[in-house]
Structure 1
Amino acid sequence: MAIAMTTGYSAQTEGALLCIEAASDWALTCVDQLAVSDSHVLIDYGAADGGTAVGLWNQVLDHLHGNQPEAHLTLIGNDLPSNDNVALAENLALQLPRPPKPTVLVSARSFYEPSVGPNTVSFGFSATAMHWLSASPGQLETHTHVLASGDAEALERFTTQAMKDWTFILELRSRELKVGGRLLTVNLSRDEEGRYLGHNGGETRNVHDQLHQIWRGLADAGVISEEQYRSGTVLNFYKSPEEFMAPLKDTTSAPYRNGLRLVNERTVYVKCPYRRRWNENGDTAAFAAGLMATIRSWSRHSFASVAGDSIADQVYKQLEQRIAEAPSEWSLDYVEHHQIMEKVA
């Protein structure tokens, strides 16, 4: 199954940048706790085009160099084979002119595969990437996103796939970390009140319901077939904190047996930056265009892959119109789960 972000992802995802900035304190905590070594490998799993994390890696590299000035640092950016890896390489290369003049590399394989050799990584980081599923758990019959569907049977299928994927991702990372290495994940999550990206508990419209209404409308108008309608599923899943921690509490899981342990966790909320600006300046056209673009950046592939580019463009034209017609009813607020892990043996 192919997953793809839109070209120019970083320019369209200011919220993702803010989520990374909210995790910078824990990133620095992780590198503070690394044992002294003559070299360290740092890796960004699911980096997309790398633009949203440039500032974070500036801080991490500076901080680690200050702590261990003799250590050689290597920074690796990783995403999927479908990623814009040329842009990723360019953003990683922004670190080259600055002390400590690290080596920068691109790992052009999926984060559902091994990325580097065993016992290699001192610090691994991942932000807003590990909610994508590696395989389809099956179609949804009445919605485009499982968490908004109200379909208990589908929710069970998607939960099973999501937990299988997450456990396997942690197994891979637990092999790659060296003993004493740290892994920090910053994942889109679902809180105890059921809020998640696109659903803020009713303060504003559920973004996933709005996308579904547009998609259903295209089917009702005969623009797409019923089969295309059912295939237009956003194949991601926002796990709860307990689901994120589960493989690290299960002593029989592969990552636990490999020595991966939970160090700390927290839930963090990031309010929509596009809505904040609209509250300040009232520029509805800019708000509608910006919010539409950030939603399109992660959801477009779900529709374009089954119905083509021109029909996907219709989805986002209608979405922008809906936002412009009722701007006070729109916001894309983030629910994030931060988790620090360490390999102990």
Structure 2
Amino acid sequence: MAIAMTTGYSAQTEGALLCIEAASDWALTCVEQLAAQSSHVLIDYGAADGGTAVGLWSAVLDRLHERQPSAHLTLIGNDLPSNDNVALAENVARQIGRPPKPTVLVSCRSFYEPTVAPDTVSFGFSATAMHWLSESPGPLDNHTHVLASGDAEALKRFTAQAMKDWTSILDLRSRELKVGGRLLTVNLSRDEQGRYLGNNGGETRNVHDQLHQIWRELADEGVISEDIYRRGTVLNFYKSPEEFMAPLKDSNSAPYRNGLRLVDERTVYVKCPYRRRWDSDGDTQAFAEGLMATIRSWSRHSFASVAGDAIGDQVFARLKQRIADSPSEWSLDYVEHHQMMERVA
């Protein structure tokens, strides 16, 4: 599975930070409603380098300590084994030096696997991580992202894999939660108008179409082979709210049988901070660099892993030039689904 965020991910993903900030109210609600206990384990699933969530965890720890001052708190950062877990450890450790002086740990196993012991987690959180697929559903012949491909057969394959992964993730998390524990997921989503990260319904260019055009150019120029072209697939899937909620509405699903229940859900939109800044200051060079870097932070591995680093870098050099040439036609707007859950039995 070719998934790895770029080094320095947090510095390149201002939009992800805004998505986390938009969920902070529900994160605080979750910990406010935890029953009093002598200790609580809190975990950030799919945290990347942890930098975007430092503020959220400071607020959560403060609120829980305020409510339960005698409880010992443990904060765990988690991502994939391929993650920059040294940076993650450094960022979660930023919580140590002030009350409530929590224990901080890093779980270096994949969030597609068990990460902590059963019945231990009081509050689990995940932001912009659970759209990645655990394995390839097969090739895309005409695009680099299934939702922009127009390929109905491929869409069925990718949907099936995404739902299998999501149900498995909720099964794992429901086993790790204590009874009464809360889970809050902040996921890249697809709304009922078909908008998703990189596709804002035609207000600006579809970012995934642009990445595909560059990838196709490289194949047409002979820089990459047709086989490499077909393997250059962004292995993620932006689920709809109905797809996110489906395992919690199916009494036969594993997470439902484990006692995981839906508490609340909402769709949240976050406008591109790089575009907003360009609208204000007109600095096209900074806009092109910043927008390219945030797109590269999550998509570079999809190309470099099959074609090598040099060609991966070519993709984003061309992307940066496209943005600089037509800045008014670019924006990376977020569609987010927030889902609050509780284990009831």
Q: What's the TM-score once normalised by structure 1's chain length? A: 1.00
Q: 2:74 is paired with a residue of what secondary structure?
A: strand
Tell me how far 1:58 sits from its aligned partner: 0.4
User: Structure 2 unaligned runs (5+)?
Assistant: none
Match for residue 228 of structure 1? 228
Structure 1 residue matching 2:124: 3-state secondary structure:
strand
Count of aligned residue pairs for this structure pair: 345
The question of whether the paired residues in 1 share the 8 Å contact of 2:179 and 2:343 is answered with yes
Matched with 1:253 is 253
Q: Describe how 1:1-345 pairs up with structure 2 within 5 A.
A: 1-345=1-345
Corresponding residue SS for 1:125: strand
Alpha-carbon distance in structure 2 between the residues aligned to 1:144 and 1:98? 45
**Cα RMSD (Å):** 0.3
Q: Distance in 1 between matches of 2:62 and 2:311?
A: 46
- AA aligned to 2:43 is I
**Contact 1:2/1:82 (8 A) holds in 2:** no
Deviation at 1:2, TM superposition (A): 3.3
C-alpha separation in 1, matches of 2:64 and 2:313: 44
Q: Are the counterparts in 2 of residues 271 and 333 from structure 1 also a CA contact under 8 Å?
A: yes
- One-letter amino acid of the structure 2 residue matched with residue 223 of structure 1: V
Alpha-carbon displacement from aligned partner over 1:141-194 (angstroms, at most 9, x marks no partner): 000000000000000000000000000000000000000000000000000000
Q: Distance in 2 between matches of 1:40 and 1:77?
A: 14
Distance 2:102 2:6 in 1: 28
Letter in 2 for 1:60: V
- Kindly state the Cα deviation for residue 25 of structure 1 after the two structures are TM-superposed: 0.1
User: Which sections of structure 1, spanning at least 5 residues, go unmatched?
Assistant: none
Q: TM-score of the superposition, structure 2-length normalised?
A: 1.00
Alignment partners' CA distance in 2, 1:245 and 1:98: 37
SS in 2 for 1:265: strand
Query: Structure 2: how far apart are the matches of 1:93 and 1:110?
Result: 20
Identity of aligned residues (%): 85
Give distance in 2, aligned partners of 1:92 and 1:128: 18
Shift of 1:241: 0.0
